[in-house]
Structures are given as structure tokens and as C-alpha cells.
Structure 1
């Protein structure tokens, strides 16, 4: 399916929400003002002034006033996109109408010059999505905006909404709707858990890997962008990183960020690392080897290696023990190790394949070698990989992300230059073009 989207972004790393009005403060808009001034790696790709869950119902009218004031004042300088979240509910027409009125008030103010779209929570089946789309169309008409100029993002917080993602391919592009305005599909695991009547012994949220997979699949099928829901334990930085790693393996690059600290982590996590690193499977998990004097050193108790004779080795992997000759040992260690390529590694490989393709070769072999050190014993390993067009395209995904970030976030150019160096950035921006 070909979707004529009106937005340019292919990736969104960060979805950052801010309360629109804080009760009991001299300046109820202080959280909005603080978020509007974020720059560089602390600034999200998408900023969401949140006039729904993050703002008390009694403060939401004032919240809209605050959005209008703060976005009108600071929106032109904000480096990411701005998508306020309004109220909505699939089962409550009164709430839907209030959401419509909130959008209309923003659209008829000067703030609309800096607003890219709106986020709609609590959607239901695809007919409910169409109701929201119709309100967007009316808002655009009433405010004198071009039809389809406002993006619509939805929070997937119910079984109905999850199933509706499977209908998008058939519905988008029909003359009766303007669902091509859709931008983000965002998981809302808290309300989803409530809607599913799910329970856990501790009361914590289920992980919902199925929902994240379905949202990523729905976004890919419809040409949209998938974003994971909030990670509430804001002190658990390692858990947040692990969650993002799991998500990227599902094709979901973006994640909800609750603090500027989480924004920094989520902005950096999908980018290729500055330096490559070797991993070894030990104790049921991947352990990073320590680069020392050009060698990769394992220091742990799960693996053991000793020389037992002429070109004969005794390898211990957990409770399993093997007696191997040199070729067998290399093969076993290749199965246990993996290499995480740096941005430079990826660019090098893509440039080499592009040169080979220009010379008329459809596939080439690429090798990567390392000296592993386990218990003081050194072993040379060499991993060979065939590169063809499919391999090249797959390797290009992190480069496409990098190029997307570089194009749309010039405020992060200096931080990227510090991370990678300007020469490498120039090559990364040019490769694959």
C-alpha cells in the first residue's frame, strides 16, 4: 500500500509528555515552560503537552490556555515536533466533544503555527478513529488550515484499538476519510491492562510483548511510526535501556519518556555505537569482552580454557566441558561470540558493498577477526559473512535512522560531532544515497 504522508520523519525516538497545568503553583504552566526550553539531546523528537492523564480534570481548561500561551511564545524555537494530547474516549461522546473543542481552541490561536498535530487517547475500533479524523477535518476548516495539515497520533489503550490497527491498510486512503493524517501509534500499557482486566501477583504491569509487537507490525503495514508506552521506574536506567533494546528487535524505535533524563537515554540508545564491541555468551547472557591491547579479554567464571596438549584445548562452558582441536575450538567460540558494529563499521561495510556493486558484483564476503583471551589463553577467530543486496538494505536501517536524526534535529549536530567526529558523520550522511 502506498500512503501519501504529509510528514517527513521516518523515525521517532522520544515521545515526551508534560502536564499542561500544575495545581497549587504560582505559575501553573511551569512544566510546559521548562519542557519548551529543552535543547539538544534533552529535547525529544516529539513533545506532547498532555492535557489528559498528566493534568487533573479540574485544570484542563487552564491547561489549554497554557498550551496556547507557551507554544505561541516558545514553539518557533523548539527543535522537535509539538503534538498536544487532548481528551477523548471511545465510549463517551461528551468527552470526544470536549477533545474537539480543545483542538479547536488551539487551532484558532497563534500557537497553531508551531503545532504539528494532536494526540488522541483511548481510541476504540476503526470507526472511532474516523470520528477523530472527522473532527480534525472540521478543526482545519474552522481555523483556515490546509486539509490534512494536522497529524493525528493515537494511544493504543484497548483491545478494540489493538484490533483496529489491522484495519488501517484497508481504510487509509479511502475518499470517505483522511486517515492518511495518521503519524504515531503509541502503546498505553496502563489503560490497556485495565481494559484487558489483566492481573499480576505483585500488581505490576504485565510486559505485554504481544501488544508492542502488534503495534510495531500495524505501524509497518500502514507506513506509520510505532512508539512504546511509559517506563515508570525512572531510576531504573538499565531496565529502560533493556526495554528499548527489546523494542528495537521488534522494529519499534520510539519510546515514551517521562523525564529529560529518559529523553537523553532514548535519544542516544538507537544510534549506532561510537566503537564496536565483542560479546560472548556466558551464564545465559551476553557479556561484553574487555578490549585490552588489541585483544578481547573475558574475565569471569562461566567460561574456562586451558591448553592440554599440542594444539589441543579443554573448553568449559558452564557445566559443560569439551576437548577440542584448534579448528573445533574456533568454531565453538564463533558460536558463543557476536560483534556489535560501530557506526564506522557499518559505514565501511556499506561503502565496500556499494563499490563492489558498482563494479558489477552482486555479493561479496566480508570478514572480521579478533584475538580472544580466556584464562590467559589466546585464540584467533574469524567470522565471515556474505553481503548481498538484502544484507545491505538491512544494514542500512541504523544508517537511515542516523540520517533522519541528522536531517531533522540540527540542534543535536554538535553532540553527534562530539560522539563520532565530523569526518565519519559526513560519510554516514552520504552513504546509501
Structure 2
């Protein structure tokens, strides 16, 4: 993985809000409310959206609203502020309008510039289009006496052209002819991507596009940027939002678009290690969390049953019936059971490995053991997982995320301490350094 180019190593939340509403006494009321978000309701990156979320006839007013709201409240906002301006790979007039709004918003004389971290550019095309946008950033910085490269550029991947362009970034970044090192977020925009790809589904729902999410995560890793998934528009489907984030995290995409403060809270907390550890059991195509009864983890589902016989056990699952002896049963259950470690568990393991490594030991075994209960039958299981330097570095990812959050979001310190406890937070911010 290429080293990140900006102070933020991770972005969990990308929250958009319309910059100007028609027919309202205060057309800026949505971004005014967003600017007041704090703690876990406040995103890592707030995007006053002067593109899709704002009617074309209101965008000039939207740019002025961004200036007014950010000038007034930007200093207190705990996340980064990246307005989205209009852009389109096929429309010079649209690109020019976006450029004019960037010039206006970034003008120090208007009072918002010092609180603006960058701009979000939608509808980019091939790599030459990315370089056009970058050149506009450079012109804005030059015009206003800002340090070259000080404005971060984030792009939304909404076309096949943009997806292919990610593969060319490594060859282009660092050339004297551009400032593409300013790139910050690579954000998927599955709605327009679906349109660009001429894709259809029987129900009209968006395709899942796992390939796009993988490619964006890979592109971000290769170029020192941060990958962010697109909007999950069923805002009432909290479980679906969490499932989408879980899938993304396995791809290295730890950030996601948030459409409401409720989604922001979910996205801010979901990638962090849990407060309590838990055992899970996968039966067929379903994974369930076992009920913690102290020394025993109880299965309460109906897809698995276990019966003890005189000479062994009968295990029934959707895959059929198996007659097993005690050792065979343990092996079968070990294949089905997994432990989800808590923050405290991860820190414990890392500290134990660090102590062994400092003492000259390159690898150690970490035991995981519990007792599983199925009705009246209890079975003890245990396994040893070898920890070496590679395992340690992999375990560091969620801790590095937590440390990045703790460093950049002091407004969340109190909530994190309530979640984990002061002592765990203290150890988590120290381990690995």
C-alpha cells in the first residue's frame, strides 16, 4: 500500500447536503444544520453539494450559501469541508461554471477560504479530464495566493472512463506537468455509473457493482488516496447499510457516502472494533451471533441440532446429517465457529506480541477457546492462531483507524471513552507506536 499523501489516513463518512433549497425562507437551512453537527453525528468529510443535490437554477445562490455558512461556522466544524461543484467530462460550459464557483468559494476576501479543505469533482472522464480539473485547482490557488497543492481534489467515479483512468494515475502523479498529488478521495457514484454502463436489472434497483468498489479500493491503495463507496439510498434499511459496509471493509474500502446524520453515526462507528467480543457460527449460508452466557456460548437457531449418542454425536445441518466422534465434532465446529475480537482483545494480542518480539521471539501462538451449547449438549473447542509480524501488521489496520479518528476528531473523544472505557482508549492510542 502506498503511503497516504494527506494527514487523514482514513475517512469513514462522506456526508452531502444541498446548498440551496427552492421555496424556503432560508435556502441554506440544510447546510446550516449540517455545519452544526458534532460528535458521532458529524462526518469526517462534509460535502456541501452544489451539484446533484441542488437544482441548476439555485447553484449560484448555493455557492454564496456555502461561503456564508462556512465563513460563519467552518472554524468550529470538526471534520473536513469539501464542497462539490459541477463538472462534466463532455461539457466545457459545465466545467467552466464549476471553475467559477471554485474561484468564488476559495476567495479569501469572502471569508470561507481558510475553512475549505478541497473540492469534490463529479462526472470525471479519462485521465486528461482529471488533469483539466487539477489545472483549475492550480489556477484557483494561484489567483488567490494559496499554497500550490493546498486544495485537495476528490473525484467521483461515475463512468467507465473514470474507472479506467484510475489505472493510469500511478504513471501521471508526480510529473512536473500536473499537481495530481492533491488527489484525496476516490468516491464511487453507482447511480450515474449504472447509467453510463447502460446497465439494467429486472426490478430497476442498482446493480451491486462489486467490481467497481474493488477497483476503486485498489486504485486508492496504489496511489495513496482514500476509497469511499457511493450512497445507500434506502435510508431506513440500517441492516442493509451495515451489510454493505461489512462487504466494503473486506475490500479495504472503509469509507461510505452518508445521506442522513443517522447514516453518519452508523458509518462512523461500524468500522471501529466492537466494545465486546462475540462468537459467531456459520450454518449453511447464514451466520448467527451466539448468546453469551458467561462461560458458555449458546446457539439458539433452528438450522442446526446436536444430539449425543452412546458412541458419539449426530450433527444435523441444512447440508445433511453427520455421525461424528468427539474429535471429529470439534473439528467440524471449529470450521463453523469464529471469534470477533473486541477492541480490548485486539490491543491485548498486539501488546502480547510486542512483548514477545522485543524479547527476541518472532512468532507466538494465541489461543482462542470457549464452550458451545446446543440445547442440552455442550462442546469445548479451542484453537491456536500463530501471530508473526505479518499478522501483527494486519491487526494494526483497525487500531490505526482508531488512532487516526482519535487524532483528527477530538469532538468524539468523550463518546469513544464511553464506548470502550478510558483505559482501553489509552492503550489503543499507544499500541503499535
TM-score (normalizing by structure 1):
0.98
Q: Match of 1:76, SS?
A: coil
Query: How many angstroms apart in 1 are the aligned matches of 2:355 and 2:191?
Result: 50
Question: Could you say which residue in structure 2 is the equivalent of 1:17?
Answer: 16
1:2 deviates by: 6.2
Q: Superposition pairs for residues 82-231 of structure 1, below 5 Å?
A: 82-108=81-107, 109-231=110-232
Question: Could you say which residue in structure 2 is the equivalent of 1:265?
Answer: 266
Say if 2:54 is the partner of 1:81: no
Deviations 1:175-216 (CA, angstroms, capped at 9, x unpaired):
100000000000000100010011111111111111000000
Bigger drift between 374-383 and 46-55 goes to: 374-383
- Contact map agreement 1:156 1:185 (CA 8 A) in 2: yes
Question: Could you say which residue in structure 2 is the equivalent of 1:390?
Answer: 390
Question: Could you say which residue in structure 2 is the equivalent of 1:359?
Answer: 359
Question: Could you say which residue in structure 2 is the equivalent of 1:238?
Answer: 239
Query: How many angstroms apart in 2 are the aligned matches of 1:203 and 1:252?
Result: 26
Q: Match of 1:89, SS?
A: coil
Q: Match of 2:72, SS?
A: helix
CA RMSD of aligned residues (A): 1.0
- Contact map agreement 1:3 1:180 (CA 8 A) in 2: no
Bigger drift between 205-214 and 275-284 goes to: 275-284
Query: How many angstroms apart in 2 are the aligned matches of 1:117 and 1:371?
Result: 52
1:318 deviates by: 2.0
Q: Match of 2:184, SS?
A: strand
Deviations 1:362-412 (CA, angstroms, capped at 9, x unpaired):
001110100000121011000210010000000110000000000000000
Distance 1:3 1:342, change over 3 A: closer
Question: Could you say which residue in structure 1 is the equivalent of 2:48?
Answer: 49
Query: How many angstroms apart in 2 are the aligned matches of 1:356 and 1:20?
Result: 54
Q: Match of 2:112, SS?
A: helix
- Contact map agreement 1:17 1:47 (CA 8 A) in 2: yes
Deviations 1:218-273 (CA, angstroms, capped at 9, x unpaired):
00010100000000000000000000000000000000000000000000000000
1:294 deviates by: 2.1
Q: Match of 1:329, SS?
A: helix
1:283 deviates by: 3.8
- Contact map agreement 1:371 1:379 (CA 8 A) in 2: yes
Question: Could you say which residue in structure 2 is the equivalent of 1:377?
Answer: 377
- Contact map agreement 2:4 2:225 (CA 8 A) in 1: no
Query: How many angstroms apart in 2 are the aligned matches of 1:294 and 1:46?
Result: 42
1:314 deviates by: 1.5
Say if 2:346 is the partner of 1:346: yes
Q: Match of 1:154, SS?
A: strand
- Contact map agreement 1:22 1:29 (CA 8 A) in 2: yes
Query: How many angstroms apart in 2 are the aligned matches of 1:55 and 1:107?
Result: 19
- Contact map agreement 2:87 2:95 (CA 8 A) in 1: yes
Say if 2:293 is the partner of 1:292: yes
- Contact map agreement 1:157 1:192 (CA 8 A) in 2: yes
5+ residue gaps in structure 1?
A: none
- Contact map agreement 1:157 1:187 (CA 8 A) in 2: yes
Say if 2:307 is the partner of 1:331: no
Deviations 1:66-111 (CA, angstroms, capped at 9, x unpaired):
0000000000000000000000000111111111100000111210
Task: Could you list the structure 1 runs, at least 4 aligned residues long, displaced by more than 6 angstroms after superposition.
Answer: 1-4
- Contact map agreement 2:284 2:319 (CA 8 A) in 1: no
Query: How many angstroms apart in 1 are the aligned matches of 2:39 and 2:256?
Result: 17
- Contact map agreement 1:71 1:111 (CA 8 A) in 2: yes
Q: Match of 2:213, SS?
A: helix
Question: Could you say which residue in structure 2 is the equivalent of 1:413?
Answer: 413
- Contact map agreement 1:3 1:173 (CA 8 A) in 2: no
- Contact map agreement 2:366 2:385 (CA 8 A) in 1: yes
- Contact map agreement 1:83 1:116 (CA 8 A) in 2: yes
Question: Could you say which residue in structure 2 is the equivalent of 1:251?
Answer: 252
1:319 deviates by: 4.4
Q: Match of 2:74, SS?
A: helix
